Amino acid sequence: MEKSYCKLSLLSYNVNSCLNCQGLLKPEPWLIFPEDKGSIGGFFDFVPEYLRVGPWFFLAPVFVLAYTLFIFYLKPPINLASTDPQLYSFPHIFSLVSTFNGCHILHMILSKTGPAPLVTFTIISWTILTFRGFLAFLNPFYPIPFLSTLSSSLRFPALVAATVTFVIWNFVLAPIFYTFWSKGEEAKKNFKNWNTQYHMIHIHFLNYPIAIVSCVLTCENVLFTEVDLWISYFVLFMYACLYLFILDRIGVHLYPVFSPRSKFSCFTWLTVFGLYYATFNFWNFVIEGQYLRDVVTPLFSK
């Protein structure tokens, strides 16, 4: 599995051709490299071919169109309460620590693989969490309204992306990879060793408690609003565009269960939508009831 992880760095394989605008703007042929059969450099051969090649499930384009209309028609005014910590308070220091830790993990991963993992939802969510920590640390020194709004805007996207990563990877994808796509005991052992590396534990497991502390416990009972929910759906929309209209076309299938060719595609997409909405309601319930703050108020108070 370590070899496979290193091989991911070969996503630079024909990278200039992969991402040249002229090729991507042409709807025909859909696959930029048809000779790879929807598997760039053969890296995604483990994904069943029917999920890589061929027409989308007939409802998938309808779903994408409806999602697009939803995003742009229901855009609310961006008006969020400030969540900046006080200078040198515990939340402020935690933001510094989480920023350094986040950058350290990113450096560990990217120094091994190159930029390829930056297209994964996991690394994007980790980057959002790290960047928000950086803004939360910076803003008390330089109280610029735009940066304060940006920090508040990223609060729920960082939390919900960490939630989705934690739930989908640990309870859906990792079990599938281990049980069905790791053939033989040696392959299962390699996957287990790869999945329990220091940086993998951070981005798939510790990301969730870090997000809870950063986005809930240190924000003084600030409830999430419909604006937070819309921003998170917009960030998800941007990643969906990257995944469906670029990665799918160059043969990168990071999350096969979300393939638009599957007859279950709309169901799996709606599941993610539902997880976002459930996360929104759950944490508002927790914040409003102060179920965590009553225990940790002395530690996390400003």
Residue-level pLDDT at 290: 74
> Looking only at Cα atoms, what is the longest distance across the chain?
61
The dihedral built from the CA positions of residue 218, 223, 229 and 234, taken in this order, carries a sign that is negative
d(CA 67, CA 223): 25
Residue-level pLDDT at 181: 74
Query: Nearest CA to 29 among 261, 249, 253, 251?
Result: 249
Residue-level pLDDT at 105: 98
| DSSP SS3 for 142 | coil
For 85, residues 6+ apart whose C-beta sits below 8 A from its C-beta are 91, 92, 95, 136, 140, 218, 302
Residue-level pLDDT at 248: 95
194: Cα separation from own chain's centroid:
20
d(CA 249, CA 239): 14
Residue-level pLDDT at 30: 84
Residue-level pLDDT at 13: 46
pLDDT tens-digit profile, the chain (302 residues): 445 444 555 554 444 445 554 566 666 778 888 888 889 888 899 899 999 999 999 999 999 999 999 999 999 998 998 899 999 999 999 999 999 999 999 999 999 888 889 999 999 999 999 999 999 999 999 989 999 999 999 999 999 999 999 999 999 888 988 887 777 888 888 889 999 999 999 999 999 999 999 999 888 789 999 999 999 999 999 999 999 999 999 999 999 989 999 999 999 999 999 999 999 999 999 988 776 766 565 555 54
Number of other residues whose CB lies within 10 A of the CB of residue 211:
26
Number of other residues whose CB lies within 10 A of the CB of residue 59:
14
**Number of residues that make up the chain:** 302
Residue-level pLDDT at 300: 52
Q: What is the DSSP letter of 47?
A: S
Domain boundaries, the chain: 2-9+30-300
Asked if 203 and 123 touch (Cβ cutoff 8 Å), the reply is yes
Residue-level pLDDT at 2: 43
Residue-level pLDDT at 214: 94
- Rounded to a whole number of angstroms, the CA Rg of the chain reads 20
Residue-level pLDDT at 4: 47
Residue-level pLDDT at 51: 95
Count of alpha carbons within 13 Å of 167, Cβ hemisphere only?
Answer: 13
Residue 84 backbone zone (phi > 0: left; psi -120 to 50: alpha; other: beta)? beta
Q: Following DSSP, what letter does each residue of 148-173 receive, concatenated? A: HHHHHHTHHHHHHHHHHHHHHIIIII
Residue-level pLDDT at 100: 98
Q: Where are the alpha helices (DSSP H) in 30-138?
A: 60-73, 90-113, 121-138
For 162, 205, 224, 233, 266, the CA distances from 273, given in Å and listed in that order, are 14, 21, 17, 8, 10
Residue-level pLDDT at 295: 56
